[in-house]
Amino acid sequence: MTAFVRNQWYVAAYAHEVGRELLGRTVLGEPILLYRAEDGRPVAMADRCVHRRFPLSEKPSRLDGDRVVCGYHGFTYGTDGVCVSVPGQQRIPRTARLATYPVLEQDSFVWVWIGDREPGDTLPPRAPWLDSPEYTVVCGMEPLEADYGLLVDNLLDLSHETYLHGGYIGTPEVAETPITTEVDDKTGVVYVSRHMADAACPPFYAESTGITGRITRWQDIEYHAPCLYLLHSRIAPVGTPDPSADGSDPDAFHVEVVYGITPSTEKTTYDFWAVARDFALEDQRVSDFLRENNHTVVMQDVVALNVLQKALDTEKAGYQELSINIDTGGLAARRILARLAAEGAERAEAAAR
Ligand code: FES
Ligand SMILES: [Fe+2]
């Protein structure tokens, strides 16, 4: 299993999922209750009542103003997690309080901080396209019955598009074109690029952009370990000039594919996916097509990774993998995740001493 990396921000939900209904999510094995206070602030606290551990996100638990009332025997908590009322007695035990989590909204996500220390000035990595008037976004979330490391591997090696996603986003050129990989150990970011000068246009882009001929297709990945994956996708008819030095690129189509990768338990993961485009902004048909098509692609990965996890579960300990050039990005990501997890474990040990 891929070790959890603590003391990090993780996507717990989309902002639009967190409202005046109680929402339960499990992040790094911690059950978390999410809701919005009456003033609009998101609140995140432990999703287990201190009394008999009833999940506060489950009916008939409910909100009473900003307070959460446990649906089992009525213990009631404020937004700071402190119990303010118990049934049948005036005295409230001093230990009757729920752990709360640092929480913030950024780029249309609700992020929670999972760790032993406070985040201080540390902010989550950015995905500004998801909350920008210059882009139109379709998005969703699929739960995965697999170790989050399998999703990281999958996303860092897009050669699988040719095989697993043929007829959607895969064409032969993806698997045929070599990648370049760079790693910034200090920031924990892995960059993987694949620039295809002359490639078939897969239906995903032909339908959405209206391009009928061959394309220049660039895939530039940034993986911000452990939690956020960005794919900058540039699509342009062959012969379109490269972007100018100031970054302007008016004749190309740009799609920003974003994944929030959130380990839930050791072998389950939340796969938050979003596709932001800078063209056909008002075109509902394009939005519907991209939502449907990308959902299909995500499900192809989900099904494959669930199968892979089951297969790995029955492997004998010490099984061998064989890696080739296409795996460079994925291997770099594994190294960074292992380092971040080890640093987190050391810090936790030091704090316990
Ligand atoms: S379990 Fe919540 S009040 Fe008893
Ligand atoms: Fe995929």
Tens of pLDDT, residue by residue over 176-206, are: 999 999 999 999 999 999 999 999 999 999 9
Q: What is the pLDDT of residues 93-139, one digit of tens each?
A: 999 999 999 999 999 999 999 999 999 999 999 999 999 999 999 99
Domain that holds residue 86: 8-114
Q: What is the pLDDT of residues 215-258, one digit of tens each?
A: 999 999 999 999 999 999 999 999 999 999 999 999 999 999 99
22 pLDDT band (50/70/90 cuts)?
very high
User: Is any ligand 1 atom within 6 A of the Cβ of residue 73?
Assistant: yes
What pLDDT, on the 0 to 100 scale, is given for residue 170?
Answer: 96
Is 62 a member of any domain?
A: yes
Closest ligand 1 atom number to CA of residue 70: 2
For residues 165 and 88, state if they share a domain: no
Is 126 a member of any domain?
A: no
For residues 204 and 60, state if they share a domain: no
Spacing, Cα 298 to ligand 2 middle (Å): 6
User: Is any ligand 1 atom within 6 A of the Cβ of residue 52?
Assistant: yes
Whether the pLDDT of residue 349 is over 90: the answer is no
Is 64 a member of any domain?
A: yes
Please give the residue that has the higher pLDDT: either 345 or 58. Answer: 58
What pLDDT, on the 0 to 100 scale, is given for residue 345?
Answer: 77
Which of 47, 81, 114 marks a domain boundary?
114
Residue 54 CA: which ligand is closest? Answer: 1
Q: Is residue 93 classed exposed, middle or buried when 0-12, 13-18 and 19+ CB atoms within 10 A define those classes?
A: exposed
For residues 101 and 155, state if they share a domain: no
For residues 80 and 184, state if they share a domain: no
Is 353 a member of any domain?
A: no
145 pLDDT band (50/70/90 cuts)?
very high
User: Can you tell me whether residue 83 is helix, strand or coil?
Assistant: strand
User: Is any ligand 1 atom within 6 A of the Cβ of residue 77?
Assistant: no
Is 66 a member of any domain?
A: yes
Residues within 5 A (CB) of ion ligand 2? 301
What pLDDT, on the 0 to 100 scale, is given for residue 352?
Answer: 76
For residues 325 and 263, state if they share a domain: yes
Output the DSSP codes for 160-229: HHHHHTBTTTB-HHHHHS--EEEEETTTTEEEEEEEEEEE---HHHHHHH---S-EEEEEEEEEETTTEE
Whether the pLDDT of residue 267 is over 80: the answer is yes
How confident is the model over 78-104, as a mean pLDDT? Answer: 98
Please tell me the residue having the least CA distance from ligand 1 atom 1.
52
Spacing, Cα 329 to ligand 2 middle (Å): 15
For residues 279 and 222, state if they share a domain: yes
Whether the pLDDT of residue 300 is over 90: the answer is yes
Contact 144, 268 (CB under 8 A): yes
For residues 96 and 148, state if they share a domain: no
Whether the pLDDT of residue 351 is over 90: the answer is no
Helices first, then strands: H and E counts in the chain:
6, 17
Whether the pLDDT of residue 59 is over 90: the answer is yes
Spacing, Cα 72 to ligand 1 middle (Å): 5
For residues 95 and 143, state if they share a domain: no
For residues 291 and 152, state if they share a domain: yes
Whether the pLDDT of residue 346 is over 90: the answer is no
Domains held by the chain: number: 2
Is 121 a member of any domain?
A: no
Whether the pLDDT of residue 353 is over 90: the answer is no
How confident is the model over 79-89, as a mean pLDDT? Answer: 98
Which of 114, 144, 178 marks a domain boundary?
114
- 316: CATH: 3.90.380.10
What pLDDT, on the 0 to 100 scale, is given for residue 187?
Answer: 95
Is 2 a member of any domain?
A: no
H helix runs in the chain, sequence order: 148-156, 160-164, 172-176, 203-209, 284-313, 328-352
Whether the pLDDT of residue 350 is over 90: the answer is no
For residues 153 and 106, state if they share a domain: no
Q: How far apart are the first and last CA of the chain?
A: 27
Which of 66, 82, 114 marks a domain boundary?
114
Please tell me the residue having the least CA distance from ligand 1 atom 3.
73
What pLDDT, on the 0 to 100 scale, is given for residue 308?
Answer: 98
How confident is the model over 25-32, as a mean pLDDT? Answer: 98
Q: Which residues contact 253 (CB under 8 A, 6 or more apart)?
A: 205, 208, 209, 211, 234, 235, 236, 277, 278, 279
What pLDDT, on the 0 to 100 scale, is given for residue 344?
Answer: 79
- 99: CATH: 2.102.10.10
Is 241 a member of any domain?
A: yes
For residues 162 and 279, state if they share a domain: yes
Q: What average pLDDT is seen over the chain?
A: 97
For residues 158 and 300, state if they share a domain: yes
Question: What is the share, in percent, of the chain residues with pLDDT greater than 70?
Answer: 100
Residue 68 CA: which ligand is closest? Answer: 1
